[in-house]
Structures are given as C-alpha cells and as structure tokens.
Amino acid sequence: MLNPKVAAVVGVSTSNPFSPGNVIFRKLRFENGLTTYPINPKGGLVEGIEVYPSLSDCPKDIDLVVISVPARIVPSVLKDVGELGIKAVIVVSGGFSETGETGKGLQKEIIDIAEKHDITMVGPNCIGVFVPDRVDTFFLPSERVARPRYGTVAIISQSGGWLVERLEEFASRDLGIAAAISIGNAAQTKVTDFVRHFGKDKRVRVILAYIEGFSEGEGREFVKACEEIAPKKPVVVLKGGQSEAGHRATQSHTSSLAGDNEVATAAFRQYGVIEAEDEDHVMAYSKVFSFQEKPMRGNRVGALTVSGGHGVIATDEGAYHELEFPIFKEEDQEKMRAAMSEAYRRIASFRNPCDLTGSASDIDYERVLDVMLEIDYIDAALLLLLPYAPGISLQIGARVANVAKRHDKTVVAYVPNLEKYDIIIRGFELNGIPVGDTIEEAVQMLDGIHERSKFLRKIGAL
C-alpha cells in the first residue's frame, strides 16, 4: 500500500475531470509516475489513457486499488479485488457506519469480504495515504494542498481534513514526513495496525496520531502496542472528542466511541504515549522528536536571552508544564559572568533566565552556554534568540550548536520564524538543535523531551 508499483482507481469519470477518482488517478499516474489503470464499466478515455471496464481487464498485476464509487457498489468491487488476489485497498467512498444503521450494515459487509480474502483495507470514508515521492491518493488537487518533503514523522489520522492541515503546516516549517495515513472509519485496518507498522520502520523516528475514539476493545490493544514501541520511539497522540459536544461530533464523523477522556489520559501516561494538548503541542512534539533526542535527567532548565521579556514568557510557559528555572548559585553566576565579554558583563543578569542584554554577541552565547551546561542542577538549556541585536551574526546557530555537541544535555532554541533568519535556523537544525518559531513552542519542545524522559526512567531505559 505504501510503496506500490502498479495501481488502479475504480470510479473514474469520462465526463467529470474533477471527480475524486479522476483527481486520484492523475496524481498516481502523472505525479507519482505509477502505472495506474482507470476503471469504469463504460470504458472510454481519461486524460488520453484507456479506461478499463473492470480490474480483471487490466494487463498487469495490481498492487493497490483505490475505490471511489457509491457505497452500495463498494462490496461488489471488493469481491473482484479479492478474487484477483490483490492485497491492498483504499476505500475513499463515504456512506458507511458514519451515516447510521444502513451504512453500518454495508461496512460490516466490506469488512467480511476483506477478511475473507486477506485484504488490507484502509477506510472507508477517508482520503487514503500519502508518501512523499511515492504514492498520493488524496483526492484534493495538488495545487491547493502543500506537500511536505520526505522525513521521519509518520502521521495517522481519523480525520482527513485535520491531516491535510498538518501537511500544510509541516511543509511551511520544512518538517518532513515518512507517511500520512487517513484511516477514516477504520473499518478493518486500525490506527493500532499502522502504529505497529511504523514502530518497526527504522526510517520513522516519531509516530503521530489524531484519534477521536476507538471501537470496542481497541483502546486496550492500542496502548499495549504503544507500550512495546515507546521505549524505541515516541508515540504522540492528539485526542478529539474531549468536550461533550465534541464527543457527540465523533459519532457523526467516524462513528468512533470517544470514551472517557480521564481514563484515556491515564492509560496514555501509563503506557508511554505522549498526549498533545492541542495542535501547537502536536507541532512542537513532532519537530523535537524528529531530531536525535538527548534525554533530560529532570525538569530544570537554564535559559539564555538578550531580552528580559522573552525570559518572562518562557518561565510562565515553563511553569504551566512543570518545568523549573532554578536561580543559579552565586558561584555559578560569577563563572558565567566571567565568560561574558568584559565590556558588558556587569550589565548582564545571570539569575535564570540569564539576560545577556542586547549588547551580547555570538561569542557571549557560546561561552556562557558552555559554562551553563556544566552546571549539575541544570538538565536542559533554552536559547532565546532575538537576532535584531547587533552583536548576533547569521552564524550563531552553527556556532552555538558546536558548543552543545560537547555536552550530553538537551538544547532547544527559539528564533523568530522570518525568512531573513533562515540561515540562523538552518545553522541550529542542521547541527541537531530544534528551533521553535515561538517562545511557547520552544518550551513545549522541552516539555515533550521531559515527558518522554520520565517514562524511559520509569521503565529503566535511562
């Protein structure tokens, strides 16, 4: 499914070039370069390509079938798939369990067919799968949706719309993904199946899932799968349906059982799942875990800034996440002061956050950070960069990263997400330091590392 050589799209139209089936066909055939057969009983031509009346008429063996026909027709198509021995199917069609009793009956029917023929089926009521440069079954025109580069984050979502928005955000932040899966109603293939799959994929560093609920018994299976994977790589979950209104909405969206949120949160924590509070946390966790992480021994953070206000915002956000900014001992303050340029050391503050003032230069950041990371009651460093300061150069990211490499402690940075600072951001990130584009996001990154480190200590993996 995620790396097909030959595909077929059942449900193309010879009269409507904008139908979902036609959009999917064009993407697979012309954008992904896959041998892809358009299927319609009426035959004809689509984009100058011969349309085949049925799957059995196609000249080559097929790896993946995408079904985009009315719900009532899906069972007969799926039977054809099974009889031909095709093993991967994506059903983008809606009209199943999310619509009521009649739809539930149809959904049970296609589950039975898939199980009988050992078919792996994603959907129905989904937009399918996207793997950069390999396969894209999303029925949204490419010119309207950004596509992130290939990377290390695998995303699984019960909502196609939520998934598309994440791809937009990942692309805008130049954060790559390994795959994006829209599972829709998850009739046969569940989020747990993909978590297990990506848990074994060495190219994936972090698994992200948007979940509205589970079918009966699936919640336990999910957290048990996460328990096996969490020691090796983080599993991040954003759970929808938290409010009563949201709980009801899940029923009409994917017919999931939202369940008790307190129970879900407790189970996630017990089994090593990192729960995101909102979409901001989703982005922060996805980004920080896409880097090679250095665990935190505790929750104590040292901050360097050239703006006192930035330090205040960071400590407020840190308090919300139970991260401490301990006041440095006098002797440690003096060591950092001595590392500072002599002309400015007396106007800087080293209590924590350390305000190096707008007179600070690259070398001040380097030297003070080097001292700070040696302090035994500091578990991580937060660098708040305001590149407007005249002494800060475009090379500061790479220079400070070289200091961080000498220490076995987490370091994250904040740099305003402006095009003119891309060189600074790349200097950090190409050298292993993740950068938040807000102060809050940088602190949330530390929170993610801290939460994961607590779990790893609990199971004896640190």
CA distances from 183 to 89, 171, 445, 448 (A): 12, 21, 27, 26
Tell whether 453 and 306 lie within a shared domain: yes
Within 10 angstroms of residue 251's Cβ, the number of other Cβ atoms is: 16
Tell whether 272 and 394 lie within a shared domain: no
Within 10 angstroms of residue 390's Cβ, the number of other Cβ atoms is: 10
Burial class of 200 by CB neighbour count within 10 A (0 to 12, 13 to 18, 19+): exposed
Tell whether 20 and 102 lie within a shared domain: yes
Write out the residue range of the structural domain in which residue 262 sits.
Answer: 146-290
Torsion region of 439: left, alpha or beta (phi above 0 gives left; psi -120 to 50 gives alpha): alpha
**Is residue 134 one of the residues assigned to a domain?**
no
Tell whether 81 and 112 lie within a shared domain: yes
Within 10 angstroms of residue 440's Cβ, the number of other Cβ atoms is: 20
Average pLDDT, the chain: 93
Residue 259's pLDDT band (boundaries 50, 70, 90)? low
Beta strands in 111-176 (DSSP E): 120-122, 128-131, 135-136, 150-157
**Is residue 358 one of the residues assigned to a domain?**
yes
**How far, in whole angstroms, is CA 305 from its chain's centroid?**
29
- Residues in a beta bridge with 354: 304
User: Residue 315 corresponds to which tokens in the numbers above?
Assistant: 């400590």
Residue 244 has pLDDT above 70, yes or no: no
Tell whether 351 and 426 lie within a shared domain: yes
Q: How many residues does the chain have?
A: 462
**Is residue 45 one of the residues assigned to a domain?**
yes
Q: Give the Cα separation of 66 and 83 in Å (integer).
A: 16
Tell whether 373 and 251 lie within a shared domain: no
**Is residue 255 one of the residues assigned to a domain?**
yes
* Gyration radius of the chain's alpha carbons: 25
Tell whether 239 and 153 lie within a shared domain: yes
**Is residue 361 one of the residues assigned to a domain?**
yes
Contact partners, residue 437, CB within 8 Å, separation at least 6? 173, 414, 415, 416, 417
Tell whether 347 and 441 lie within a shared domain: yes
Instruction: Give pLDDT tens digits for 63-94.
Output: 999 999 999 999 999 999 999 999 999 999 99
**How far, in whole angstroms, is CA 360 from its chain's centroid?**
36
Domain boundary among 238, 259, 290: 290
Cα angle 94-96-98, degrees, rounded to a multiple of 5? 90
**Is residue 114 one of the residues assigned to a domain?**
yes
Query: How many domains is the chain partitioned into structurally?
Result: 3
Instruction: Give pLDDT tens digits for 372-385.
Output: 999 999 999 999 99
SS3 for 182?
Answer: strand
Instruction: Give pLDDT tens digits for 6-49.
Output: 999 999 999 999 999 999 999 999 999 999 999 999 999 999 99
**Is residue 141 one of the residues assigned to a domain?**
no
Tell whether 177 and 89 lie within a shared domain: no
Instruction: Give pLDDT tens digits for 137-157.
Output: 999 988 888 899 999 999 999
Tell whether 257 and 196 lie within a shared domain: yes
- CATH number for the domain spanning 8: value is 3.40.50.720
**Is residue 16 one of the residues assigned to a domain?**
yes
Contact partners, residue 115, CB within 8 Å, separation at least 6? 188
- pLDDT value at residue 141: 85
- CATH number for the domain spanning 223: value is 3.40.50.261
Residue 37 host element (H or E): strand 35-39
Domain boundary among 271, 290, 309: 290
Is-contact 290 205, C-beta < 8 A? yes
Residue 435 host element (H or E): strand 435-436
Q: Give the Cα separation of 185 and 250 in Å (integer).
A: 10
Residue 104 has pLDDT above 50, yes or no: yes
Tell whether 273 and 306 lie within a shared domain: no
**What percent of the chain lies above the pLDDT cut of 70?**
96
Is-contact 45 51, C-beta < 8 A? yes
Where would I find the H helices in 373-438?
396-404, 422-429
Q: Give the Cα separation of 144 and 42 in Å (integer).
A: 30
- pLDDT value at residue 216: 85
Residue type, 298: G
Tell whether 96 and 26 lie within a shared domain: yes
Is-contact 10 69, C-beta < 8 A? yes
Residue 242 has pLDDT above 70, yes or no: no
